[in-house]
Amino acid sequence: MEEIKVFSGRNSSVLSQSISAYLGMKLSNCVYKTFTDGELWIKYNENLRGCQVFIIQSINSPAENLMELLIMIDTAKRASASNIIAVIPYLGYSRQDRKDQSRVPITARLVANLLERAGADGIITMDLHTPQIQGFYDINVDQIYGSSLFHSVIRELHIDNLAVVSPDLGRLKIARTYSKILSAELIIIDKNHTANDKVEILNIIGNVKDKNVVIVDDIIDTGGTFANSVYALKENGANDIYGVCTHAVLSGNAISLIENLPIKKLYVTDTINIKEISDKIEIISAANIFAEAIKRTSNQRSITTLFDV
């Protein structure tokens, strides 16, 4: 059986420590340097020849996080690792997955090309922005689902008169799954992106009056869309409002915006290391499910059976 080595990029060091603890093994030894001009240098302090290597790194901003992952993959390949799996809890640049106007990039495809060219043999990630991104890769992409973490959290709240809200049509499939598992009504928010990149709520499909609601989303970036959804639901008579979100990008003044929203709680995972936190935000660790996915991949077992979705 191939020896397993698990490494962490600097951007996911906290999550990686939790994953390795669940696996009952220490993270393998790697040295990182950033030269004065900003160039990155990496050295593995362990023999990788013939080993199965897992490299954990989210590739949210800055772009150096992506570059570091690419260098780590390339270095492992040149060190004769037999199989290299990039564990990317948050796969950045996934929102740019098509040409919705002239002369714009499809960076989701570009990142796929870079990861494959660097030498990755497979990807493990959580909650892709759109499922079709898997088709950009010629290597295997295993997507695991944040919903498997949030279902039990919502159940334990014992919320009466519950409705699940999809903040846009893109989240409809996953929101429908929540509504079935939680035996809750499904509400859809119809929104439109205006020319100046603002979000306009056009319509709420379903009756939220006097209901307690859970907004289900994959990414909260600036928090503007989430805030607009909360205010629209309140204006239409919703009572207590909760949110669940897999990837808490939380750029700009998102934290302070969320603190001032009329919500009970926003539940997020630790796919992105949150440096600042609010009393209204609670982190649910994804370490155990990533660790189990790594264990099953190394043993050539199915990952699909991990999930409700």
Residue 42 has pLDDT above 90, yes or no: yes
Residue 34 has pLDDT above 60, yes or no: yes
Span 223-240, average pLDDT: 94
- The answer to whether 198 is a known catalytic residue is no
From the candidates 43, 173, 180, 191, give the one annotated as an active-site residue: 191
Pairwise pLDDT comparison (304 vs 28), residue with the higher score? 28
Class of domain 147-284: alpha beta
pLDDT of residue 198: 62
Span 104-131, average pLDDT: 95
Amino acid at the residue 148? S
Hey, what are 130's tokens?
Answer: 């759109």
Band of residue 237 on the pLDDT scale cut at 50, 70, 90:
very high
Hey, what are 73's tokens?
Answer: 């993959």
Q: Which of 14-23, 136-145, 186-195 has the lowest mean pLDDT?
A: 186-195
pLDDT of residue 101: 86
pTM of the model: 0.94
The residue whose two tokens read 């996911």 is 12
User: How does the average pLDDT of the chain come out, rounded?
Assistant: 92
pLDDT of residue 201: 67
Tell which CATH architecture fits domain 4-145+288-306: 3-Layer(aba) Sandwich (3.40)
Residue 309 has pLDDT above 50, yes or no: no
Domains 4-145+288-306 and 147-284 share a fold: yes
Model confidence pLDDT, tens digit, residues 142-199: 999 998 899 899 999 999 999 999 988 778 888 998 999 999 999 999 876 655 556 6
Strands 265-269 and 281-284: parallel
Model confidence pLDDT, tens digit, residues 48-100: 999 999 999 999 999 999 999 999 999 999 999 999 999 999 999 998 888 88
CB 178 within 8 A of CB 142: no
Nearest alpha-carbon partner for 245 in 222, 267, 274, 272: 267
Q: Which residue ranges make up each domain of the chain?
A: 4-145+288-306, 147-284
| Angle formed at CA 139 by CA 138 and CA 143, multiple of 5 degrees | 115
Band of residue 200 on the pLDDT scale cut at 50, 70, 90:
low
Band of residue 277 on the pLDDT scale cut at 50, 70, 90:
confident
Span 191-215, average pLDDT: 78
Residue 308 has pLDDT above 80, yes or no: no
What are the Cα distances from residue 175, in Å, to 123, 147, 192? 25, 9, 19
